Amino acid sequence: MTSPKLFLLYAPIDAEWAQTFYQQLREVGYTLYMEPPESDPEDATLQRKTTAALQKATHLLAVVSKESALGDSAAAFEAWWRPFLRTGRPVIACIVPDAPPGAEHWMPFDLLRQRRADFREPDGIAQLQKWIGPAPSAANEGLPISESLSSRADAASRAARPEPTPRPIATTPRRPPAPAKSKVVEEPLPPRPKPSFLRMILNTIGILIGLVLVVLLLFAASQSGDSATSRISAEAWLVSLLIVVVAVALIGRIVTRRQRRQWRLEQRRQMAQTRAKIEAEEPAKTPEVYLEVIQSKAKRDVGQIWPMDDFALTVGRGVKVDVPLRDRAIARRQCMVFFDDETGRYYLENLDVRERTVFYDKPLLPGEVVPIENGDIIRLGKSVVLQFRA
């Protein structure tokens, strides 16, 4: 049996009790993650760690008080536990010791229906272990957690708590900036892709066939000079020769155009990879709205940052989309992220005829549109995972 991985969620007003709760669970031996309420929402490193912890967590412990359920931070608090609930993983409501009776009157209905550990009662920790299982470390069993957690129920401790302030998450999306001129990348451009061995053979055979046809046409035109219709035959051969030359030129242009398009595609991908390095070294230069590739079967795509310079960003494996990925298991035009002026929000639209665009473990129907917010995870196919940042 694998050990549970816990994600501790709390509102700023419950920070004092949550910190004690966090320390006690760690002493027992549980593995858990907690983001401090005073953390900087613009810290890319912290946000990436939080996203990774949410993906790995097996349980979410939601510290619930009347203030967090109905106060100023209620909307932000719900914006964290509700998406986790949609994934099908358990959410456990941990009711603080000084919460008023009658939780059915002040707790959100969807949270009320989930598993609960009531720390107003002496066996609160036993209720919690009933849902998450015993701690991995058997040597630490029996630690009196519930005794130290009940100290917050007195009036002096309650009066010393900070005033409720909304947590800076799930903010209103910002309007994307106007299309700007692309910055000059100092790193060298990627080398032009070398054609495969089979393509080189086909190109050589095509050139040889073209040369043979030209020689045959010239020989036939010279042999037709003795006949009475030599003038007409020579003109006909000349037209045929011109057609062959034009056909060979068109084929060569198509092949060259495909190679040039592939080279430009690699250049765009390298620029996206360069933005990831810039974000790590200079976070201030990170674009305001972008998609980041955080997982893919194509390892070279992982870490790429694709900024949303316009009001829409198309994603797929085709060369004409804004985010060209290398994974062959997705469609040429898989999905699109766009900004709506009327609602002032960002939306995700599935452009695939198959249900390979997954949002919060829900496959989107063809043409289905759903709103997205900062930090949302988008899965494409079997291996590609994108994260939206705004």
**CATH number, residue 367:** 2.60.200.20
Which strand (E) or helix (H) includes residue 8?
A: strand 5-9
Secondary structure (DSSP) of 40-72: -TT-HHHHHHHHHHHHH-SEEEEEE-HHHHHST
Domain co-membership, 44 together with 111: yes
* Packed helices 230-281 and 197-223: angle between N→C axes, nearest 10 degrees: 160
The C-alpha atoms of residue 106 and residue 108 are separated, in whole angstroms, by: 7
| Residue 281 confidence class, pLDDT cut points 50, 70, 90 | low
Q: How far apart are CA 117 and CA 21, in angstroms?
A: 13
Identify whether residues 152 and 9 lie together within a single domain.
Answer: yes
364 or 264: which carries more pLDDT confidence?
364
Q: Mean pLDDT throughout 348-353?
A: 92
pLDDT at 145: 36
Q: Tokens at residue 35, please?
A: 């983001």
Q: Reduced to 3 DSSP states, what percent helix, strand and coil does the chain have, rounded to the nearest 5? A: 45, 20, 40
The domain containing residue 72 runs over which residues? Answer: 5-159
Query: Is the domain of 150 the same as that of 59?
Result: yes
Strand 369-372 relative to strand 357-359, pairing: unpaired
> Chain-wide mean pLDDT for the chain?
73
| In the chain, % of residues over pLDDT 70 | 64
**Residues 358, 379 contacting (CB under 8 angstroms):** yes
Dist CA 298 CA 326 (whole Å): 6
Tell whether the model's pLDDT for residue 358 goes beyond 50: yes
Q: What value, to the nearest 5°, has the Cα angle with vertex 359 and ends 357 and 360? A: 145
Burial of 227 (0-12, 13-18, 19+ CB in 10 A): exposed
Largest CA distance in the chain: 120
Report the pLDDT averaged over residues 362-380.
90
DSSP conformation class of 347: E
134, 40: one domain: yes
Confidence at 351, pLDDT banded by 50, 70, 90: very high
- Say if residue 229's pLDDT is above 80: no
When divided into structural domains, the chain yields a total of: 3
Residue 72 token pair: 């100023």
Same domain membership, residue 57 and residue 106: yes
- Decide if pLDDT at 335 tops 90: yes
Q: Do the domain assignments include residue 23? A: yes
Q: Do 24 and 107 lie in a common domain? A: yes
Specify the higher pLDDT residue, 140 or 119: 119
**CB 176, CB 252: distance < 8 Å:** no
Report the CATH number at residue 142: 3.40.50.10140
Lowest mean pLDDT, pick from 91-105, 122-136, 191-205, 288-302: 191-205
Are 210 and 244 within 8 A, CB to CB?
yes
Domain boundary residue among 111, 132, 159?
159
pTM for the model stands at: 0.38
User: How crowded is the C-beta side of 215, counted as CA atoms within 13 Å?
Assistant: 6
Q: Identify whether 208 is part of a domain.
A: yes
pLDDT at residue number 340? 86
Backbone dihedral angles phi then psi of residue 317, each to the nearest 5 degrees: -105, 5
Positive or negative torsion for Cα 77, 80, 82, 85: negative
Q: Cα–Cα–Cα angle for 74, 76, 82, nearest 5°?
A: 90
SS (H, E, C) 198-210: HHHHHHHHHHHHH
In a domain, 170, yes or no: no
Under DSSP, is residue 305 helix (H, G, I), strand (E, B) or coil? strand
Lowest mean pLDDT among 38-52, 76-90, 227-241: 227-241
Q: What is the dihedral of CA 282, 54, 6, 117, to 10 degrees?
A: 120
154 and 70 part of one domain: yes
The residue among 219, 191, 195, 222 whose CA lies nearest residue 206 is 195
Q: Which helix (H) or strand (E) holds 103?
A: none
158 — pLDDT class (breaks 50, 70, 90): very low
- Token pair of 100 as six digits: 């008023």
Q: Do 15 and 155 belong together in one domain?
A: yes
Domain's final residue, options 246, 262, 281 = 281
Q: What angle do CA 378, 383, 387 make, to 5 degrees?
A: 25
The amino acid present at 294, given as its one-letter code, is I
User: Can you tell me whether residue 389 is helix, strand or coil?
Assistant: strand
Same domain, 269 and 327: no
- Apex 259 CA angle, 254 and 264, nearest 5: 125
pLDDT at 45: 72
Same domain, 270 and 294: no
If asked whether residues 68 and 145 sit together in one domain, one would say: yes
| Whole-number pLDDT of residue 195 | 55
Same domain (yes/no): 36, 141: yes
User: Which of 85, 99, 93, 97 lies closest to 54 in space, CA to CA?
Assistant: 85
Please give the helix or strand (H or E) that residue 373 lies within, else none: none
